[in-house]
Structure 1
Amino acid sequence: MLPAILGCVLLLATRTVAQQVPPVACPQYFEYLSFNQQFVGRITMHHDPRYEDNVLRVEFSQRGRLGSNYIGSLSLWDDEETVKFNLRNGRPILYRVDFPTPGVLPKLTQIVINDAVVCQASPYPPSSVTLSLSHSLRSTSVPLFSLQPQLPQQFPRPQRPIWQTEVRQPQTPVPAPVPPPQRPTPGTTPAPAPRPVQTQAPAPQPRQQAGAVPQSLGQLDGICGRERAVTTPLIFHGVQVARGQLPWMVALFERRETGVNFFCGGTLVSASTVLTAAHCFRMSGREISANQAAVSLGRNTLDLVSAGELRQVSTLVIHDEYTIDNFTDADIALLRMSTPVSFSDFIKPICLWNENYRLQLPSGYVSYVAGWGADEVGNVNTRIAKMTNTDILTETECIRGLKSRDGVMKVTERTICASNKQGAGPCYGDSGGGLMLQENDVWLLRGVVSAGQQLANRCDLSQPVIYTDVARHINWVRQHLWF
């Protein structure tokens, strides 16, 4: 899936959806917007120049009960430079509200800016829930002129949010995540196979100084594959990935004159290296070069305005045994970022397979896959990353589960197959993402999302998904790794 930031006007909710739109007590500050039947809220708010910290709090009332702990989000609408410009010039700041339940618009009941109530309305009667959201914006800029008492009649048209982008689907079935997954919890994964006994204890690694970049795989051992202590509750039975979980997940964007387009996932394996699928860059009728690519890190969302980092790509190395005709056998590419990243709670590499782990995985062994791809309700991509568990299949089970000869031909000695009985797994847009194992609380990269099957132009997750086995190519990966 290839989101494209092309100029597009967000439409005000029209009469066709008017029955879904609650009354708005303060239309001068808040409006509902729709695009392709996706709904968001937009808040337009002036900030008092006397405040360095501007705290916006909003509340909504929604009928019924939520199906999860997710209550929505409040974020800046424009990019950082636009926000700074508007603050300096006394222009209003635009905020975006994402709602927790698709197709259900909660009613705005309160807007508070810096403890001053600017809008208020009565909530729905029981049974209903209150959604409380907040955002803090710090500014040391002084407006060039004093604020006007009334809002201007027109505002600059905002850029189209990244999550509302169009998607190019690859010509060959290429997977991306479809929930209803489950976040790994203690006890859900079968006990890992015993590791070979080491005859000699590994030498302790010197402690890395703050900001130091590991220069070898050995120096990554104490860093890789470890999540921070994440307290954000997962929603919808663990479908969404909270920021700080799976901090090695990256999103790949194609750089164009009109903006950037999300096209594949990837996995951080060192301070300078991202591992992804070769077919993301070279497939029949399509080729993307290193200087056209950008890497988004430290985000669980496709919104580049959110906290995180963006890196250009200086070098692209595609596996020398990769072929377009039988791409799954060696569907691996390595990207070298223009500058190394510093590791943190939100940016950290995953561990690579090594000889201490079993090479042959048994049937039913639990693995995990995550990404921003198409979902089960028809969205071409998900704004927030999702993950699911998926069970390893033997080669015989995989071939038996595939319905087409072409699918069977994509299974080789250097691929892994996996599936989920609930029909959850990768779909369009998840290509290049990692097939992950959790071994003794350490995350390990085992495969890369390569190919899936189609049915009526949709992902057919009743059939196995095929991953290139990174462990079978580990020597090639190690030889081409940058630190």
Structure 2
Amino acid sequence: MFRKRLVLAMSHLQLLGFLIAVLKISHISAQNLPYIQCPMIFRYLEYENQFIGHLKLVLDRTNTENVVRVELSQPGRDTPSSPGSLNFLEDQDSLRYRLSNNEPINYRIDFPTPGVVPKLTKVSVNGEVVCEARPFGAPSSRLTLSRTLGTSVPLSAIPPSQRTDHQWPQTPQRNYTVYEVEEETTQRRRPQQPTPRPRPQQPPTNQRPRPQPVPQLPQEPEFQTPARPPVRPSNPSAQVSKSYPQTIGQLSGICGREKIIQTPFIHNGIEVERGQLPWMAALFEHVGRDYNFLCGGTLISARTVISAAHCFRFGSRNLPGERTIVSLGRNSLDLFSSGATVGVSRLLIHEQYNPNLYTDADLALLQLSNHVDIGDYIKPICLWNENYLLELPSGHKSYVAGWGEDEKGNRNTRLAKMTDTDIITQWECRGNLSEESAKFITSHTICASNAQASGPCSGDSGGGLMLQEEDIWMLRGVVSAGQRMTNRCNLTLPVIYTDVAKHIEWLVRSMWF
């Protein structure tokens, strides 16, 4: 095993040597170059008759993310239009190896103005300054660069039998995935605030389309995200000693409040901004080396997500919770974007769920393998209680969001979309559906419709039907069944949701804190 590790280490050293050779980098003298305050981690190199910076830092492998921020001082009166760039000098395999073995990560700094060499004035890692020097005197400009190196799983959280720093197989298994996010590559500028748009009013409608003869039963989840290396379940941050709400009363003090967002709801479905509807969850199934998008879900506590039972049990489908991961804090299906990816330690299907009449109790609870840290981007929604109406009147405004099939026929949308929809009575719902479809309407379901034919479609199953009561968001239903015609959803017809309020006792009794 030691020989294998030695061979792998040598291969990575050769890779770095190859990269440097390709760049044709050579050492130069310090003549006419700015003073270097910390030569142990930074030096100037020559590349194609220009200077670049070489930074090397040992990062904390136990962190989910390591943020490196660099400040430079550029002499002269002219402020460059770009601050330059901060990039890695290695590929992902080498980054993963170096991070797990406490070896320096190599960065390359490209300066913005040919012939002008800035002075390194500050280097910080995760907010802690590791090098600092005085900037040039006036006139000069300050340049700021940032690069984040993250792993989908902190290595310290991997069980000892799987720790890659204990042993390396000849072909390293991708037990976690290294990714990079460039956070700040511009100079300080005042962000532009989007102009709030008025919420359009939905025109009244006196006629609803007649039902189509074929109901839409839950489709086998067939939609796949682009093939990527598997992402291991992880805690969203490396912080410890957190306290989490332990009761419904404690949850009520934080639930249902979203980050302030400039974009209001409008008809026909618009993209959800990150921080908007921070309880939205995307469920993925682990298939081979890939994770395929499965269904939507809603966070209701720091350790519980609610979704639809038919996502896991329907027909020949019997998906165990252990093969599911939950994505939180993202408006995107991209698991490499900022957010949390958490495993599932237990799956609980409602005991009254019947695949033959699934809408009546189409509920599943997922116990997350770790508590998630609650903040602006991850927050539970509130649950129904007796202070709110149980029987909603026709036309009561509700909202739904998800990553499912769109009006163009795309199987999934990359970014979540949302729309408003109107509650309709049981009588109205039955009157707009065929006799075969109407049997899925029960005393434990709720229907909603939209005159603009926008709403949930295939892939949105398990997502939440949400109400906004005095700026507090509440979960009222779970997307269960809709209607199809030919190869697309027929959203001129009502969508049937399992009514969470009618199952509130089961939910409160069964959820985890």
Q: The TM-score by the shorter chain falls in which range?
A: 0.5 to 0.7
TM-score, length-scaled by structure 1: 0.61
Is the counterpart of residue 381 in structure 1 residue 386 in structure 2?
no
Post-superposition Cα deviations, 1:66-104, rounded to whole Å, max 9, x if no partner, equal xxxxxxxxxx9x9987865699899999xxxxxxxxxxx
Q: Distance in 1 between matches of 2:145 and 2:98?
A: 17
What is aligned with 1:454? 484
Q: What secondary structure, in the 3-state scheme, does the structure 2 residue paired with 1:327 have? A: helix
Q: Distance in 2 between matches of 1:175 and 1:389?
A: 26
Distance 1:407 1:233, change over 3 A: closer
Is the counterpart of residue 346 in structure 1 residue 377 in structure 2?
yes
What is aligned with 2:307? 276
Q: What secondary structure, in the 3-state scheme, does the structure 2 residue paired with 1:296 have? A: strand
Determine which of 297, 313, 323 is the counterpart of 1:292: 323
Is the counterpart of residue 318 in structure 1 residue 349 in structure 2?
yes
Which residue type is aligned with residue 342 of structure 2? R
Q: Does the aligned pair in 2 maintain the 1:175–1:465 contact within 8 Å?
A: no
Which residue type is aligned with residue 274 of structure 1? V
Determine which of 33, 49, 55 is the counterpart of 1:50: 55
Structure 2 counterparts to residues 34-433 of structure 1, below 5 A: 49-50=54-55, 52-53=68-69, 115=112, 136-138=146-148, 172-173=217-218, 211-231=242-262, 239-402=270-433, 404-433=434-463
Q: Distance in 1 between matches of 2:220 and 2:256?
A: 23
Aligned-pair distance for 1:452? 0.5
Q: Does the aligned pair in 2 maintain the 1:250–1:295 contact within 8 Å?
A: yes
Q: Does the aligned pair in 2 maintain the 1:80–1:305 contact within 8 Å?
A: no
Aligned-pair distance for 1:270? 0.5
Q: Does the aligned pair in 2 maintain the 1:297–1:309 contact within 8 Å?
A: yes
Is the counterpart of residue 473 in structure 1 residue 506 in structure 2?
no
Q: Distance in 1 between matches of 2:401 and 2:218?
A: 17
Q: What secondary structure, in the 3-state scheme, does the structure 1 residue paired with 2:259 have? A: coil
Q: Distance in 2 between matches of 1:79 and 1:414?
A: 54
Specify which structure has the bigger relative contact order, considering alpha-carbon pairs within 8 angstroms and separated by 6 or more residues. 1
What is aligned with 2:467? 437
Determine which of 468, 493, 502 is the counterpart of 1:463: 493
Q: Distance in 1 between matches of 2:340 and 2:432?
A: 40
Q: Does the aligned pair in 2 maintain the 1:175–1:459 contact within 8 Å?
A: no
What is the number of equivalent residue pairs in this alignment? 328
Q: Distance in 2 between matches of 1:79 and 1:369?
A: 41
Post-superposition Cα deviations, 1:92-150, rounded to whole Å, max 9, x if no partner, equal 99xxxxxxxxxxxxxxxxxx965358xxxxxxxxxxxxxxxx9942469xxxxxxxxxx
Distance 1:233 1:452, change over 3 A: closer
Q: What secondary structure, in the 3-state scheme, does the structure 2 residue paired with 1:211 have? A: coil
Q: Distance in 2 between matches of 1:462 and 1:283?
A: 26
Q: What secondary structure, in the 3-state scheme, does the structure 2 residue paired with 1:312 have? A: strand
Q: Distance in 2 between matches of 1:313 and 1:405?
A: 38
Q: Distance in 2 between matches of 1:215 and 1:279?
A: 29
- Taking only the aligned residue pairs, the percentage that are identical comes to 52
Post-superposition Cα deviations, 1:461-482, rounded to whole Å, max 9, x if no partner, equal 0110000000000000011010
Task: Please list every run of 5 or more consecutive structure 2 residues that lacks an aligned counterpart in the other structure.
Answer: 1-51, 57-67, 72-79, 83-87, 115-143, 151-176, 180-214, 222-239
Aligned-pair distance for 1:49? 3.2
* Bigger Rg, which one: 2
Task: Please list every run of 5 or more consecutive structure 1 residues that lacks an aligned counterpart in the other structure.
Answer: 1-46, 60-75, 94-111, 118-133, 141-158, 162-169, 177-208
Distance 1:387 1:81, change over 3 A: farther
Distance 1:230 1:89, change over 3 A: same
Q: Distance in 2 between matches of 1:115 and 1:238?
A: 41
Aligned-pair distance for 1:238? 6.3
| C-alpha RMSD over aligned residues | 3.9
Q: Distance in 2 between matches of 1:369 and 1:310?
A: 22
Q: Distance in 1 between matches of 2:91 and 2:427?
A: 50
Q: Does the aligned pair in 2 maintain the 1:174–1:431 contact within 8 Å?
A: no
TM-score, length-scaled by structure 2: 0.57
Aligned-pair distance for 1:280? 0.5
Q: What secondary structure, in the 3-state scheme, does the structure 2 residue paired with 1:453 have? A: strand
Q: Distance in 2 between matches of 1:266 and 1:135?
A: 37
Post-superposition Cα deviations, 1:210-267, rounded to whole Å, max 9, x if no partner, equal 8311110001111000012224788998601110010000000111222211110000
Q: What secondary structure, in the 3-state scheme, does the structure 1 residue paired with 2:391 have? A: coil
Q: Does the aligned pair in 2 maintain the 1:174–1:451 contact within 8 Å?
A: no
Q: What secondary structure, in the 3-state scheme, does the structure 2 residue paired with 1:325 have? A: helix
Q: Distance in 2 between matches of 1:290 and 1:139?
A: 30
Q: Distance in 1 between matches of 2:389 and 2:497?
A: 17
Q: Distance in 1 between matches of 2:404 and 2:91?
A: 23
Q: Distance in 2 between matches of 1:229 and 1:82?
A: 40
Q: Distance in 2 between matches of 1:372 and 1:398?
A: 25
Which residue type is aligned with residue 55 of structure 2? R
Distance 1:84 1:448, change over 3 A: same
Q: Does the aligned pair in 1 maintain the 2:69–2:145 contact within 8 Å?
A: no
Aligned-pair distance for 1:391? 0.5
